[in-house]
Structure 1
Amino acid sequence: MSVRILALVGSLRAGSHNRQLAEAAVKLAPEGTEVEIYEGLADVPFYNEDLDAEGIVPEAAVRLREAAASADALLLFTPEYNGTIPAVLKNAIDWLSRPYGVGAIVGKRVAVTGTAAGQYGGVWAQDETRKAVGIAGGKVLEDVKLAVPGSMTRFAEIHPVDDAEVATALTEVVRTLADAPVAA
């Protein structure tokens, strides 16, 4: 049985190191596991309950919800913006959390990883992301962590897939997420 993991990247920057980390996860996924990077978070409007009504939900939000609903698990990659979660990732979680109690991520296995320029690799943003996605109904794998510090220098001349330490740790994150028990 194949496991489908949807990757959401909290940075829209073309050269994002978190995007590169997600690309590495795609390449390093163990056999029987598919990681797909979601394209289109920039198109999802800010969550507004007035827009979240039958027949008027923006198409970009519908596509996001459908992609998450059809995945077995989610893998979130977050940089740290001003000590917390980037707006684009928080917005995605907000759309996926609705309707309350039955949103597209309710009961889904979720792991949070990322890289940042600072010495702690974005752990504050990752902790905030785990909190938000857990409240939204995701089954957060609290012990599955990867925070890569110093992204600007570490990945200045090397892609994360070619960094042996990062590749090993990321492969383990993907494997653990794929093997985690499915919520009942």
Structure 2
Amino acid sequence: MPEIKVLALVGSLRAASINRQIAELATEAAPDGVVVTIFDGLNELPFYNEDIDNDADVPAVVTALRALAAEADAALVVTPEYNGSIPAVIKNAIDWLSRPFGDGALKGKPLAVIGGSFGQYGGVWAHDETRKSFGIAGPRVVESITLSVPFKTLNGQHPREHAEVAANVRDAVGKLAAEVN
């Protein structure tokens, strides 16, 4: 059976962010036969501009993102909530991945949104907004896969050291992989 490839996008650019740690945990805890790859270039993507989205001018980082998305069988977005909404880097990635409109690299592929935030609800608003935007952009958003971690529940631990969070991340990746046709 071929490996299931999952592209992970992290909505926080900070190297030691808890959302990055959750994404790293997803790479470590993926079930056998599932490989999770984190795309590390979101900070390099220019803001979406149709003027440069053509055969001659597309930046190399955009080409790399689209190629990884095209090769992936599914996508996992791990994001915090910034001011009650989506971090700009995630929204920008959605815009780049949605083009060409109606036929983006993630079209029809299963996508799940998880992560955490400082608020008591662990980023639920951002996760909902991210699901909505990606749903319009073309992937098949798997609404039943959710994980919103209020940072205070970690008590300063790395997510892999928190048994319940680690199990939930492993479960989310497994459920996402099961959605691949």
TM over 0.5, shorter chain: yes
Deviations 1:48-86 (A, max 9, x none): 010101121111111110111111000001100010000
Moved more, 117-126 or 52-61: 52-61
Mapped partners of 1:181, 1:162: distance in 2: 29
Contact 1:6 1:73 in 2 (8 A): yes
Aligned-residue offset at 1:156:
5.4
Mapped partners of 2:14, 2:40: distance in 1: 13
Contact 1:30 1:171 in 2 (8 A): yes
Q: Which amino acid aligns with 2:146?
A: K
Mapped partners of 1:157, 1:140: distance in 2: 31
Mapped partners of 2:4, 2:180: distance in 1: 12
Mapped partners of 2:54, 2:30: distance in 1: 37
Match of 1:134 in 2: 135
Q: Which runs of 5+ in 1 are unaligned?
A: none
Contact 2:4 2:33 in 1 (8 A): yes
Moved more, 22-31 or 155-164: 155-164
Matched-pair identity in %: 55
SS in 1 for 2:147: strand
- Once superposed, which parts of structure 1, at least 4 consecutive aligned residues long, lie more than 4 Å away? none
Contact 1:5 1:72 in 2 (8 A): yes
Mapped partners of 2:170, 2:18: distance in 1: 17
Matches within 5 A, 1:104-123: 104-123=105-124
Q: Which runs of 5+ in 2 are unaligned?
A: none
Matches within 5 A, 1:24-173: 24-149=25-150, 151=151, 153-155=152-154, 157-173=156-172
Mapped partners of 2:124, 2:44: distance in 1: 27
Aligned-residue offset at 1:157:
3.1
SS in 1 for 2:148: strand
Aligned-residue offset at 1:155:
3.9
Aligned-residue offset at 1:181:
4.1
Q: How does the TM-score come out when normalised to structure 1?
A: 0.95
Q: Which amino acid aligns with 2:168?
A: A
How many residues are paired up?
180
Q: Which amino acid aligns with 1:161?
A: R
Contact 1:11 1:19 in 2 (8 A): yes
Q: How does the TM-score come out when normalised to structure 2?
A: 0.97
Mapped partners of 2:26, 2:145: distance in 1: 14
